[in-house]
Structure 1
Amino acid sequence: MKAEPSESHRDPNHTQAWLIGGGIASLSAAVYLVSEAQVPGPNIHLLDLHSGPGGGMTPREDPQRGSMTKLLSLVPSKTNLKGTLLDDVRRFETIERPQPQTAALSRALKLGPSGPEIVETKSLSIGAKNRMNLVKIMLERESTLGSKSIEDIMDEDFFGTTFWMLWTTEFELQPWHSAVEFRRHLRKYLENIQQLNNVIKSNRTEFNLHESLIEPIMIYLREGGVDFNFNTEVTNLTVYPKEDPVTVTSIELLRDGIEHTVDINAIDIVIVTLGSTSAGASLGTNRSSPPNLSLTWETELTRDWRLWQRLSQDSPKFGQPNNFLSQCLKSTLETFTSTFEGPEFMLLYEKLTHDRPGTGARISLTESNWGISLSIPRQPLFSSQSRTMNIICGIALNPTREGNFVKKAMYKCSGEEILIEILSHLQFPIEPILSSSKTVPCGMPLGTAPLLSRHEKDRPLVIPQSTTNIACVGQFVEIPGETTLSMDYSVHSAQIAVTRLMGLPGEPEEIRENRLLQVLHLMF
């Protein structure tokens, strides 16, 4: 059910806005409040229990479309006094794109009789029965699919197809994930499945996302006077009356071990980021595995989820966070970064794939038990990175399984062991690459939690029903028809929250699903 926009326009000069969470959803909400709602910066207060901003970000949407376009167009450029972040992205795309190659030739690799081979992915032939099942899913009502998983609605042989390989490695969807989420992805992305790996047609920033996006946004907000409060945990929101409609009347928080209460007037607004995919994440080192990687949520209930749990106990309108916390074995993934001193790895990669770094979004090792995909970005990834250094990133969807070459579960492996496994799949020489590199793994028990099977009311609406001054944002809210686990999803939720709470004219533009007639012709 779609929440109705706010009926009254709030006076921005007299409204205090309280943003709980320091990720891209809260930062986006702050930008919209300043630029669109004209709320003075000092009236905007961001509260986050961590020491700095950013949160977990998965760049999937094109920053020149949809919600990201709007956000980037509102933030000034760091380098061009008359430009915006959107201008920076477009400039980089037209001037800095790699030449003469503008698109990746390789999307996946497998081990053949004579070594690694490029997997042909142009043909998506999956058989008549699977094609019909996909069409049926796209035409199905979400209410009919309910809490079913993808494996509940697709035959077992489907998960061995090239089509599924592209889908699972692109979106991190697993057979046990939500059928509703799978349907949304099909309707939105199927038409462009062959173009998703082409970074020229997707999102590219000059450096890493924190440096290219988060830092300029923070500069813009600080210069505007926004009040940042890090190392501050919000423990509860008090509402009145207990019956509907409810209004948040106070915020209880913990700062430096001391409890505080902030009174909230009826004209004020509260925007809460629910949950976190990076909660419980732990870093390893080149010589050690990630410590205390919990595969069951009962062992450590992280602070990032406590407020949502408290809200859900007060009212079902705030969803059911335990649905996502209780399935950690189905949401665990592991990421890693490898830093190479010298060009050996990159030269071998280019020779094997015929791709220059930065031309493809990712390349998957199809026979990896760990489900590894690599991202070989354009160098440098950091503005301070030396010319002799190269950095790659990776993700593994099945870190609890035993490796093909390193005979242990990935989450028990050091960074060095993970790199040995990758080099063995690629059949690159272990030395001198291993001794001149460092790999840092990161275990994420909730990495794909937003994709888990769910009931209709497990995720709250951006504006929960029968509330007057609160909005929920982030990866765990419900935006009808939209696909989660992307940066654009968080940004879109913030745009909806500010528009409706502040009573702004119009509605945020919904990112439309691909026209089904154009999509279905691909299936036949």
Structure 2
Amino acid sequence: MATSFGPNSRAYCVGGGIASLSAAFFLIRDARIPPANITILEELPVNGGCLDASGDPAIGYVSRGGRMFEEHYVCMYDMLKDVPFASTSALSSRDDIFFFNQDVVSDARCRLVDSGRQKLDDSSYGLSWRHLLAMTRLLLFAKGKTQKKISDYFPDSFFSTVFWRLWTTSFSFQEWSNADELRRYFLRFIQLLPGFNQFLGIQRTRYNQYDALIEPLQNYLRESGVVFQQSTTVEELSFTDEKRLSVNGIRVRRSGSIESIPVSESDAVFVTLGSMVESSTRGSMRQAAPAPSLPGSSWTLWKSISQSVRRAGNPDVFIENVAETEWVSFTVTQSDPAFFELIERITDNKPGTGGLISFVESGWFLSIVLFHQPFYAAQPEDRYVFWGYGLKPHGTGDLIKKRMVDCNGEEILLELLHHLKFDETEAILSYSNCIPTRMPYITSQFQPRSDNARPQPVSSACSNLAFTGQYVELKDDVVFTVEYSVRSAMTAVYNLFDVKKKIPHVYKGQYHPVVLWNAIKALLR
């Protein structure tokens, strides 16, 4: 497709998240574009997008979310095998993940907890034949039915099963989420079903995903010569007035001034469409996260592009119902190991070896996870960090009679301790700093949508424009994963620059008899 691109072409990557950084990597390694010809334009002073981490021991640490991985993230690992984990090490980022997971193996022994802090038996998924029939119907008939909700396929009783409680807390699907996305997830992770209640087969990074993925990747790109322009908001793209468009300019705002970056037909523009963490707000131990300002620049840019370029998608369907797409997460920094010791005692899991601990009768549907420590690369030995979130942030708390979105860090921590039934509440509060984050669009990629709401990474409507990120259409793979962002970048670069390499196939365990049989046995337990 790309007849006008060559070694002198310039590439502009809009956004500093994992999709844009990955696009820059593939442009260098596989499209052979000189690194100095690649510019990354990011609104914030730091890169990383959703894969963020900030703070220090004094003010407290913050990560808006966490990511799980598994061995079939083939595009991500194809990239990370060529990214040094540290500039002073011969170890790749891929190898560090593999070695870490050999040492710290996932084997959750306490996934679901009731209101009395009793572990729920999750050895059986609790699925009836009616539920299994509905699941079969979903797998057979939901493909392409992107406007259908999960609740259109399943009876109400399904949403009280052990299986659904494990699934919804792990992946954040809700009853109103897109049924076709659930179908994709069932197939994409079919190999995990036998040990899903224990998080068997789940991989994690040594540190948070900023320190483990973003920092090594951006260091590699910087040292290669890629140009980074931070605190730069892309407001609009301009196009040639032709039947087949091409981008001829990028309007940016920085330091309060408007500038225009000229783009030739032999240059390429890669835009990360939308953002799950756009318009996020942060609170503190004493203040709730403020109400977000909507919709945010990434969504405004996408809407502007969609009005100029045919088949560029429809951002509105993902952001028009914040009550269905919002979360509150919280990061807790502690100066005493006592809380971690209490959790280890009731779960029989050392930090980093368990999964989410989910309080299924909580009004906010709370879950927490204790990471392997240190979770931040520069975290001192006398600090301990864990993370949690509420899947129903507009519900009323059981102790704190407020919506979670209206609560400060202390109130969220008190609600959590209420469900944990610990006697040491005052002591735990004295050495804890809980920082809440409100994210209005965090599960927006799961919303029911029209068939054309997600554009292809490369469109025939514009000769030098490509799209990346969680809101493009990729066959068979699943959103809300790092793999999806990396695959979108690989697909965009390979298609636009006509790279003569094959994109790795999405793993399809349903065609492996042993995998399929083990999954069926697990569902019948």
Q: Same fold (TM over 0.5)?
A: yes
Partner of 1:378: 372
Give, as a single letter, the amino acid of the residue that structure 1 aligns with 2:130: K
Contact 1:9 1:503 in 2 (8 A): no
- Which one is further off, 470-479 or 249-258? 249-258
Partner of 1:494: 489
Contact 1:47 1:229 in 2 (8 A): yes
Partner of 1:393: 387
Distance of 1:44 and 1:160 partners within structure 2? 50
* Residues 359-390 of structure 1 deviation map (CA, whole Å, 9 limit, x = unaligned): 02311111111011111111111232222221
Deviation, structure 1 residue 304: 2.3
Partner of 2:475: 480
Which runs of 5 or more structure 1 residues have no equivalent in the other structure?
1-5
Partner of 1:238: 238
Secondary structure of residue in 2 paired with 1:201: coil
Deviation, structure 1 residue 400: 0.8
Give, as a single letter, the amino acid of the residue that structure 1 aligns with 2:70: D
- Which one is further off, 253-262 or 199-208? 199-208
Distance of 2:197 and 2:464 partners within structure 1? 41
Partner of 2:59: none
Contact 1:191 1:522 in 2 (8 A): no
Contact 2:137 2:153 in 1 (8 A): no
Query: Are 1:155 and 2:155 counterparts?
Result: yes
Give, as a single letter, the amino acid of the residue that structure 1 aligns with 2:104: R
Query: Are 1:91 and 2:99 counterparts?
Result: yes
Change beyond 3 A, Cα 1:197–1:132? closer
Secondary structure of residue in 2 paired with 1:270: strand
TM-score with structure 2 setting the length: 0.92
Partner of 1:71: 79
Structure 1 moving runs of 4+ over 3 Å: 7-10, 194-200, 519-524
Query: Are 1:108 and 2:109 counterparts?
Result: no
Counterpart of 2:318 (choices 308, 313, 324) is 324
* Residues 270-311 of structure 1 deviation map (CA, whole Å, 9 limit, x = unaligned): 1000111111111110011111x24xxxx6331221110101
Counterpart of 1:305 (choices 284, 299, 310) is 299
How many residue pairs match? The answer is 504
Counterpart of 2:38 (choices 23, 35, 44) is 44
* Residues 30-52 of structure 1 deviation map (CA, whole Å, 9 limit, x = unaligned): 11111222211110011111111
Partner of 1:3: none
Partner of 2:62: none
Structure 2 counterparts to residues 427-506 of structure 1, below 5 A: 427-429=421-423, 430-506=425-501
Give, as a single letter, the amino acid of the residue that structure 1 aligns with 2:474: I
Change beyond 3 A, Cα 1:25–1:464? same
TM-score with structure 1 setting the length: 0.92
Question: Over the residues paired in the alignment, what is the CA RMSD in angstroms?
Answer: 1.9
Distance of 1:523 and 1:436 partners within structure 2? 43
Distance of 1:48 and 1:79 partners within structure 2? 23
Partner of 2:5: 10
Deviation, structure 1 residue 121: 1.1
Partner of 1:60: 68
Which runs of 5 or more structure 2 residues have no equivalent in the other structure?
52-65
Secondary structure of residue in 2 paired with 1:182: helix
Distance of 1:200 and 1:272 partners within structure 2? 36
Query: Are 1:19 and 2:26 counterparts?
Result: no
Distance of 2:316 and 2:464 partners within structure 1? 25
* Residues 240-295 of structure 1 deviation map (CA, whole Å, 9 limit, x = unaligned): 2443x32212222222222222222222111000111111111110011111x24x
Counterpart of 2:505 (choices 499, 505, 510) is 510
Instruction: Report percent identity of matched pairs.
Output: 31
Partner of 1:360: 354
Partner of 1:126: 127
Give, as a single letter, the amino acid of the residue that structure 2 aligns with 1:497: A
Partner of 1:249: 248
Secondary structure of residue in 1 paired with 2:393: coil
Give, as a single letter, the amino acid of the residue that structure 1 aligns with 2:123: K
Contact 1:361 1:377 in 2 (8 A): no
Distance of 2:185 and 2:377 partners within structure 1? 34
- Which one is further off, 385-394 or 196-205? 196-205
Secondary structure of residue in 1 paired with 2:414: helix
